[in-house]
Chain A
Amino acid sequence: MAQAKALDGSMSAGIQKDSKRNKKHHDPKLTPKERRERFKKRLEYLTPAEQKYLKRKRIVDAVWPIFRAIIVFGLCFIILYPLIFMLSVAFRPRAEMNDPTIMWIPKTFTLNNIKDAIRAMDFWKTLGNTLFLNIGCSLVQVATCAVTGYGFARFKFKGKSILFFIVILMILVPPQIILIPQYMFFRYFNPFWIYNAITGSYINFINTAVTMYMPAVTANGISAGLFIFLFRQSFRSLPMELEDAAYLDGCSPFMTFLRVMVPNAGSTFLTVFLFSVVWYWNDYYVSTSFFTDNRTVALMLKNLDANLTRIIFDNGNIQVNVRELIVWMEAGCLISITPILIMYIALQKNFTEGIARSGLTGM
Chain B
Amino acid sequence: MRKLHLSYEKKKGLYGYGFIAIWFIGALMFFIVPLINSFIYSFNDVTPEVGYLSKTWLGLKNYKDAFMLDPNFRQYLVEALQDMALKLPVIVVFSMFVAIIINQKFKGRTFARAVFFMPVIIATGPVYAIITGNLETNGNNSAQQFTTMFETDMVDQLLEFIGIYGFGTTFTEMLGNLTSDILNLVWNCGIQIIIFLSALQGIPDTAKEAAAIEGATSWEFFWKITLPYVSPMILVNIVYTVIDTFRDPTNLVMERILAVQSDWRYGYSAAMAWSYFGIILVVLGIIFAVMNKLVWYENE
B66-74, B77-85, B133-141 - interface stretch:
B133-141
Does A48 have its Cβ within 8 Å of any Cβ on chain B? no
Of the candidates A7, A281, A352, which one forms a contact with B114 in the assembled complex, judged by CB atoms under 8 Å apart?
A352
Contact A285 B198 (CB under 8 A): no
Q: How far is the CA of A55 from the CA of B25 in the complex (A)?
A: 65
As a 0/1 sequence over residues 336 to 363 of chain A, the CB contacts with chain B under 8 angstroms (1 = contact) are 1100110011001101100111001101
B26-34, B55-63, B156-164, B170-178 - interface stretch:
B26-34
Contact A330 B134 (CB under 8 A): yes
Contacts of B266 in A (CB 8 A): 180
Minimum C-beta distance from A199 to chain B (A): 12
Contact A53/B51 with A177-B273, A323-B137 known, Cβ cut-off 8 Å: no
Within A60-77, the residues touching B (CB, 8 Å) are 60, 64-65, 68-69, 71-72, 74-77
**B interface majority secondary structure:** helix
As a 0/1 sequence over residues 131 to 153 of chain B, the CB contacts with chain A under 8 angstroms (1 = contact) are 11011011011110011000000
Contacts of B201 in A (CB 8 A): 4, 7-8, 356, 361
Q: How far is the CA of A157 from the CA of B114 in the complex (A)?
A: 41
Within B115-141, the residues touching A (CB, 8 Å) are 115-122, 124-127, 130-132, 134-135, 137-138, 140-141
Contact B125 A176 (CB under 8 A): no
Within A113-136, the residues touching B (CB, 8 Å) are none
Does A142 have its Cβ within 8 Å of any Cβ on chain B? no
Contact B27 A166 (CB under 8 A): yes
**A interface majority secondary structure:** helix
Contact A181/B198 with A68-B104, A176-B261, A337-B127 known, Cβ cut-off 8 Å: no
Contacts of B13 in A (CB 8 A): 155-158
Contact B34 A163 (CB under 8 A): no
Contacts of B141 in A (CB 8 A): 85
Contact A218 B261 (CB under 8 A): no
The residue of chain A having its C-beta at the shortest distance from the C-beta of B42 within the complex is A177
Does A137 have its Cβ within 8 Å of any Cβ on chain B? no
Minimum C-beta distance from A231 to chain B (A): 11
Contact B32 A166 (CB under 8 A): yes
Q: How far is the CA of A108 from the CA of B248 in the complex (A)?
A: 40
Minimum C-beta distance from B180 to chain A (A): 12
Contacts of A166 in B (CB 8 A): 27, 31-32
Within B220-263, the residues touching A (CB, 8 Å) are 232-233, 236, 243, 246-247, 249, 254, 257-258, 261
Contact A279 B124 (CB under 8 A): yes
Minimum C-beta distance from A8 to chain B (A): 7
Contact A148 B22 (CB under 8 A): yes
Contact A170/B22 with A7-B204, A155-B12, A188-B52 known, Cβ cut-off 8 Å: no
Contact A215/B30 with A72-B101, A80-B115, A180-B38 known, Cβ cut-off 8 Å: yes
Contact A53/B217 with A4-B201, A253-B12, A285-B249 known, Cβ cut-off 8 Å: yes
Within A158-173, the residues touching B (CB, 8 Å) are 158, 160, 163, 166, 169-173
As a 0/1 sequence over residues 261 to 296 of chain A, the CB contacts with chain B under 8 angstroms (1 = contact) are 000000000000000001101111100000000000
Contact A81 B183 (CB under 8 A): yes
Does A2 have its Cβ within 8 Å of any Cβ on chain B? no
Minimum C-beta distance from A135 to chain B (A): 15
Contact B125 A11 (CB under 8 A): no
Does A329 have its Cβ within 8 Å of any Cβ on chain B? yes
The residue of chain B having its C-beta at the shortest distance from the C-beta of A303 within the complex is B126
Contacts of A157 in B (CB 8 A): 13-14, 16-17
Does A174 have its Cβ within 8 Å of any Cβ on chain B? yes
Contact A50 B31 (CB under 8 A): no
Contact A78 B31 (CB under 8 A): no
Contacts of A76 in B (CB 8 A): 111-112, 115-116
Contact A278 B24 (CB under 8 A): no
* B9, B22, B98, B114, most chain A CB atoms within 10 A: B22
Does A82 have its Cβ within 8 Å of any Cβ on chain B? yes
Contact A181/B34 with A176-B254, A357-B198 known, Cβ cut-off 8 Å: yes
Contact A185/B16 with A65-B106, A148-B22, A173-B35 known, Cβ cut-off 8 Å: no
Contact A81 B106 (CB under 8 A): no
Does A110 have its Cβ within 8 Å of any Cβ on chain B? no
Of the candidates B35, B122, B126, B127, which one forms a contact with A178 in the assembled complex, judged by CB atoms under 8 Å apart?
B35
Minimum C-beta distance from A254 to chain B (A): 8
Q: How far is the CA of A150 from the CA of B205 in the complex (A)?
A: 30
As a 0/1 sequence over residues 265 to 296 of chain B, the CB contacts with chain A under 8 angstroms (1 = contact) are 01000100110010001000000000000000
Does A318 have its Cβ within 8 Å of any Cβ on chain B? no
Contact A218/B26 with A14-B205, A301-B130, A323-B137 known, Cβ cut-off 8 Å: yes
Contacts of B25 in A (CB 8 A): 218
The residue of chain B having its C-beta at the shortest distance from the C-beta of A181 within the complex is B34
Minimum C-beta distance from A190 to chain B (A): 8
Contact B261 A148 (CB under 8 A): no
Does A30 have its Cβ within 8 Å of any Cβ on chain B? no
Does B43 have its Cβ within 8 Å of any Cβ on chain A? no
Does A111 have its Cβ within 8 Å of any Cβ on chain B? no
As a 0/1 sequence over residues 88 to 101 of chain B, the CB contacts with chain A under 8 angstroms (1 = contact) are 00000000001001
Between A and B, 17 residue pairs with Cβ closer than 8 Å are A4-B202, A78-B183, A82-B131, A85-B141, A166-B32, A170-B27, A174-B277, A178-B31, A182-B34, A218-B27, A218-B29, A218-B30, A219-B27, A220-B23, A284-B125, A298-B126, A344-B121
Closest 3 CB pairs of A and B: A218-B26, A155-B16, A151-B19
Q: Which residues of A contact B (CB under 8 A)?
A: 4, 7-8, 10-11, 14-15, 50, 53, 56-57, 60, 64-65, 68-69, 71-72, 74-82, 85-86, 100, 103, 144-145, 147-148, 150-152, 154-158, 160, 163, 166, 169-182, 184-185, 188, 196, 202, 214-215, 217-220, 224, 228, 253-254, 257, 278-279, 281-285, 298, 301-302, 322-323, 326, 329-330, 332-333, 336-337, 340-341, 344-345, 348-349, 351-352, 355-357, 360-361, 363
